[in-house]
Structure 1
Amino acid sequence: MRYDRVPSHAHCWLLPIAYSSLRSDCHWVISDRSQGRALMKITFVVTVPDSLAFFSEHLRHWKGRQADQGDHAEVLTSPGPAEFLQLALKHGIPVRQVPMEREIRPLRDLYSLWQLCAELRRDRPDLIHIGTPKAALLAGMAAVLTRVPGRIYTMHGLRAETTQGPKRALLLLAERVAVACAHEVVLPSHSLHAYVRSLGLLPPHKGRVLGSGSFSGIRSHEVSLPTAERLRRDLGLHSQGPVIGFVGRLVRDKGVAELCRAFAEVQRHYPAAQLLLLGQFEEGDPLDEATRQFIQQQPGVIWGGYVFNVRDHYPLMDVFALPTYREGFPTVSLEAAASGLAVISTTATGARDAVQPGETGWQVPPGDVPALTLALLEALDDPVERRRRGSNAQAWVQSEFSPETVMRHWDELYEEVLARAQARRRVRGKVGWTAAALGSLALTALTVRTQFSCPRQ
C-alpha cells in the first residue's frame, strides 16, 4: 500500500507567511499611529444629499485638515440636486453617488448594499461616519462586510418613537443592527441618549454625547438689511403684523397640524399675524388633508417651500416655533436662537435640550394645542420679554455650540476610535501568529511522524 505524503516540514514553515498575506488581503492597512501621527482617511455617508447640511461644518473642517495635515475625506450619498452636492464639492471633497432610499425597499436595498460594499472596498477608508438611519443600516453592514477599521454612527433621532405595531418593531430592529455594526454611537442630545438607552438599544460600552450636544455646532450668520427686505418682498410678507416662523419637513412628527390649529387661534387676537412655513411636504409621514388645505389656502399663512439657505430667513421672523413630537437635537432651533429669536418648542425627546424654559424660550407638551396657543400669545403680547429671551438664546448658543468646540470633540473621538482599531489589529495579529505558529508546529510534527512511520516501497 502507498501512502500519500504530506508536505515536507520545510514547506510547513511557510504557513505563517501565507497567513500574513491572507490577512493583508482581507483587512485594511492601518498605519502605526504609535510612531507619530499618520494620515487619516474618512468617508461620510448620508442617505440623501439633503442631509449633507448636517455635515456642513464637518466638511468645512475637513477641508482644512486636507490642506494642513494631508488627511482625506469623501462623501457617499444617493443621487440628488446639485446644490446639495455642492456642500461637499465646494470644499474640495469628492462625492460618490450610490442609490439609496429612505423607506424600506428590500430588493433596492440589497442592490444599495452591494454598491456600498464595492465603494468601500475600492476606497479603503480608515473611518466611516454615518449620519442618517437608512444609511446607518446599509452602510453599517457594508462597513462590517468590508472590515472598515473605525465605524461611527450618529443617531440624529429615533423614528420608532412615534410609531406603533409592526412598523415600530421593524424600525427598532433596524436601529439595533445599525448600532451593532458601529464601534461608537454618538447622540446629539442628552435626552435622546437617555431615551435610547432606556430602550436597551445601546450596550454599556457604546453611546455618548459630545460636549453639550449638537452634531456640528452653529456658526454665527449675518444677514444684510437689503437681503432681508428682498426676501420679505419675494415671500409676500407684510410689515403690519408679527411673523411666526417654522422650518422643517411638513409632516406629522414635526407638529405642523398642531401649529396650524394654534395659529388659527392666534389670528383671532392678531388678525394681521403671519405664519411662515419653510419646508416641503413628504409622503413618508403625510399631513392630513385638512392641514394641507389650511397651509395652501388660509390667509396669513405663507408657504415658502424648501429653502436651501434657510438662515437668511430667520431675521424675517419675530418668534420661532417647532412643536415637534421627536428630535435628535433640532438644529433649526439653535439656528433661530443664534439669530436672536426666542424659541417655542416642546418637551419631546431632543427638543427639550434646545430650549431653556423662561430664559431662551417657551416649552409646551407635544400635541397640546391650547398650551402652544398660550405660548405664542405670550410671546406676541410681550415684545420686551420676547427679545430678552431671544438675546439670552443667542448668547447661550454662541458660548455652548461654537463649531470650533464641537469639531475639537469630533477630532478627539476620531483619534480614539482609530486607536482602538489599532489595538484590535495588534490583538488579532498576535492571536493569528500564535495560531499560525501552533499550526506550523503541528504540521511539522505530523510530517516528521509520517517520515518515520510510512512504509517504504
Structure 2
Amino acid sequence: MDKGNDLAGALAPIPVNRPPLHVVVYTDSEGMGGAEFSLGHLVAAVSPDIAVTVLGVAEAVVGAIARQRPGAEAVVLPPTGVRWPKAGQRPSLAAHLATLHRLRPDIVHLNLCTPWAGAVGLTAALTLPQARVVRVDQLPLRTTDALELWRTRALSLRVDAHVAVGEASARRMEDFYALGRHTVQSVPNGVPDRGMPSAPPPGGQHSRLRVGSVGRLDAMKGYDVLLRAIAQVDDTHLTIWGDGAERPALEQLALELGLGDRISLPGWVDDPRQYLPEVDIFVLPSRSEGFPLAIVEAMLAARPVVGTRVGSVPEAVLAGQTGLVVEKNDVTGLAHALRQLKADAALRDRLGQQGRAVAAAEFTAQVMAQRYEQLWRELLKTPRSPRLRVPRPRD
C-alpha cells in the first residue's frame, strides 16, 4: 500500500507505457458504507483496458475497493479532517497535489458520501492541467454551514462533470447549491447481477409473512416507523440485517410494542443478499436517501419492494409496477401497504418479477460502468471547462 505522505515516493516517475485511459477514483471516507460499496462495484465493472487507481485517506477503505479489481493500484493519503481550509490541513493538501500530479490521470472520479466531502481532493484535482474532473454526489443533502455551502458550490461549478445518483437527486443538488438547472447529470448506482436466487425452503416460521430490510440502524433509515407498522399487521415477522447506534432504542420499542419473537436483529452479515430469498417483502422506510443499493439488490432477488418517497427511490420502486411507495414517517400507509401485499401472493410475485426485469436492465454494475465510461470518454473529446472563472448558472 502506497503511503501518500511520503512525498518522495509520490514524486517518483510513473511508467511510460500505460493503457489509453487512466482513471483515478477518489474517496475521503474513513469507513465502508453504501457510497463506498457503489464505488467498489464501479471499479470491478469498468472495461479491462482502463487503468484504475484507487486513491483515498483510509487504508481499509482503499484496500476494500481496490481488491474488487485485480491489478488496480491502491494509494493511501493522510486524512484531511472534517473542515478545510485550516492550517493543520496544509500537509494533507500538499500530499494530494504531489500524488495526483505524479499519477497524471486522464480522469479524476471523486465519489462523495456528502456534498461537502472531498474538498481537498477536489481542490487538488482541479489543478491538474489536462485531467477531467468528475464529482459524484451520493446523497443530495443541504448544509447549513455557510462556509461549506460556499465551498461546495464553488467547487461544483468548476468540475468538468457533476453527477448525482438519480434524477430527483440531481435536481435537489442543483437547487440546494444554486448550480443552475440541468447542470447535474444522473447515473444511478448499480450492483452485480448474480442471477435468479433459489427459492427458500418451506416450513418453520415461513408460515408467517416474512418482511426483511438491510441497512444501518440509525434514525435516517426510519426503522422505528417500520416496527410500528409491523405491530399493526398480524402474523408477520421482520428481520433487519444491519447494526448501528439505534439498536438499543429499536429493541426497547419492540418490547413496548409487544413484538416479542416477531422481530429479529441479527446484526451485520458479510453478504446480506444471500438472505433475501428468505423474505416475502423487502422494505426500506428511509427518511432520506440517494439511490440505495439495498433496494436494487432486493429487486434483483425478485422481491417486491416497499420504499418511501425520498431521494431517487421512486425511480427504481415504480408504484404498482416494481413495488409500492409510501410517504416517509407514515406508519398507517406503510402498514396498509404490508397488508395489501400480505393478502395478495400473486401481486407479490408480479411486482418481484417486474422489479427484477427493471433492475437487470437499468441498475446493474455493468450498466453503471458503461454510463460512466461513456461520460469519461466524451469529456476527453471536449475542451476542458474553465477553472478560475465560470459562467453564472442559468435556471
Cα 1:250–1:290, aligned 2, differ >3 Å: closer, same or farther? closer
**Among residues 382, 387, 396, which one is paired with 2:344 in the alignment?**
382
User: Contact 1:327/1:349 (CA < 8 Å) preserved in 2?
Assistant: yes
Cα 1:100–1:277, aligned 2, differ >3 Å: closer, same or farther? farther
Q: Give the superposition deviation at 1:170.
A: 5.7
Cα 1:41–1:248, aligned 2, differ >3 Å: closer, same or farther? same
Q: Which amino acid aligns with 1:371?
A: G
Counting only pairs closer than 5 Å after superposition, residues 155-166 of structure 1 correspond to structure 2 as: 155-160=137-142, 166=144
1:44 matches 2:44: no
Cα 1:200–1:97, aligned 2, differ >3 Å: closer, same or farther? closer
Give the corresponding residue for 2:327.
365
Counting only pairs closer than 5 Å after superposition, residues 389-400 of structure 1 correspond to structure 2 as: 389-400=351-362
- The one-character-per-residue Cα deviations of 1:248-285 (angstroms, maximum 9, x if unpaired) are 2222122122112222223xx12xx3221122315xxx
Q: Give the superposition deviation at 1:309.
A: 2.1
Give the corresponding residue for 2:122.
140
Aligned residues: 362
Secondary structure of the residue aligned to 2:374 is helix
1:76 matches 2:55: yes
Q: Give the superposition deviation at 1:202.
A: 2.2
Taking every aligned residue pair, what percent have the same amino acid on both sides?
A: 22
User: Contact 1:49/1:80 (CA < 8 Å) preserved in 2?
Assistant: no
Counting only pairs closer than 5 Å after superposition, residues 280-429 of structure 1 correspond to structure 2 as: 280-282=243-245, 287=246, 290-291=249-250, 293-294=252-253, 298-421=260-383
Give the corresponding residue for 2:166.
189
Q: Give the superposition deviation at 1:91.
A: 1.8
Give the corresponding residue for 1:16.
none
Give the corresponding residue for 2:213.
246
In structure 1, C-alpha distance between the alignment counterparts of 2:169 and 2:221, rounded to whole Å:
16
In structure 2, C-alpha distance between the alignment counterparts of 1:103 and 1:298, rounded to whole Å:
41
Q: Give the superposition deviation at 1:140.
A: 0.7
Q: Which amino acid aligns with 1:77?
A: G
- The one-character-per-residue Cα deviations of 1:137-161 (angstroms, maximum 9, x if unpaired) are 231112124556211011111233x
- The one-character-per-residue Cα deviations of 1:369-409 (angstroms, maximum 9, x if unpaired) are 11111112222222221111111111121223344443322
Secondary structure of the residue aligned to 1:299 is helix
**Among residues 278, 282, 299, which one is paired with 2:241 in the alignment?**
278
In structure 2, C-alpha distance between the alignment counterparts of 1:180 and 1:292, rounded to whole Å:
45
Q: Give the superposition deviation at 1:49.
A: 5.3
Give the corresponding residue for 1:7.
none
- The one-character-per-residue Cα deviations of 1:225-253 (angstroms, maximum 9, x if unpaired) are 7xx77xx9xxxx94342221111222212
1:61 matches 2:45: yes
User: Contact 1:140/1:181 (CA < 8 Å) preserved in 2?
Assistant: no
Give the corresponding residue for 2:106.
126
User: Contact 1:159/1:171 (CA < 8 Å) preserved in 2?
Assistant: no
In structure 2, C-alpha distance between the alignment counterparts of 1:369 and 1:120, rounded to whole Å:
49
Q: Which amino acid aligns with 1:299?
A: D
- The one-character-per-residue Cα deviations of 1:389-447 (angstroms, maximum 9, x if unpaired) are 1111111212233444433222221012222356979xxxxxxxxxxxxxxxxxxxxxx
**Among residues 185, 190, 210, which one is paired with 1:208 in the alignment?**
185
In structure 2, C-alpha distance between the alignment counterparts of 1:94 and 1:126, rounded to whole Å:
15
Q: Give the superposition deviation at 1:109.
A: 5.4
Higher Cα Rg, which structure: 1
User: Contact 1:215/1:406 (CA < 8 Å) preserved in 2?
Assistant: yes
Counting only pairs closer than 5 Å after superposition, residues 436-451 of structure 1 correspond to structure 2 as: none
Q: Which amino acid aligns with 1:278?
A: W
In terms of fraction of residues, the more strand-rich structure is 2
- The one-character-per-residue Cα deviations of 1:261-317 (angstroms, maximum 9, x if unpaired) are 222223xx12xx3221122315xxxx4963353469953322232233222121121
Q: Report the TM-score when normalising by structure 1.
A: 0.69
Q: Which amino acid aligns with 1:91?
A: R
Q: Give the superposition deviation at 1:117.
A: 2.4
Q: Which amino acid aligns with 1:215?
A: N
In structure 1, C-alpha distance between the alignment counterparts of 2:286 and 2:369, rounded to whole Å:
27
Q: Which amino acid aligns with 2:121?
A: A
In structure 1, C-alpha distance between the alignment counterparts of 2:262 and 2:247, rounded to whole Å:
20
Secondary structure of the residue aligned to 2:41 is helix
User: Contact 2:197/2:301 (CA < 8 Å) preserved in 1?
Assistant: no
User: Contact 1:185/1:206 (CA < 8 Å) preserved in 2?
Assistant: yes
5+ unaligned residues in a row in structure 2: which ranges?
1-15, 388-395
Q: Give the superposition deviation at 1:174.
A: 4.9
1:219 matches 2:186: no
Q: Give the superposition deviation at 1:319.
A: 0.5
Cα 1:149–1:80, aligned 2, differ >3 Å: closer, same or farther? closer
In terms of fraction of residues, the more helix-rich structure is 1
User: Contact 1:45/1:135 (CA < 8 Å) preserved in 2?
Assistant: no
Q: Give the superposition deviation at 1:129.
A: 0.5
User: Contact 2:79/2:92 (CA < 8 Å) preserved in 1?
Assistant: yes
**Among residues 148, 151, 154, which one is paired with 2:133 in the alignment?**
151
Further displaced range: 389-398 or 87-96: 87-96
Q: Which amino acid aligns with 2:304?
A: A
Give the corresponding residue for 1:255.
222
What is the RMSD computed on CA atoms of the aligned residues? 3.4
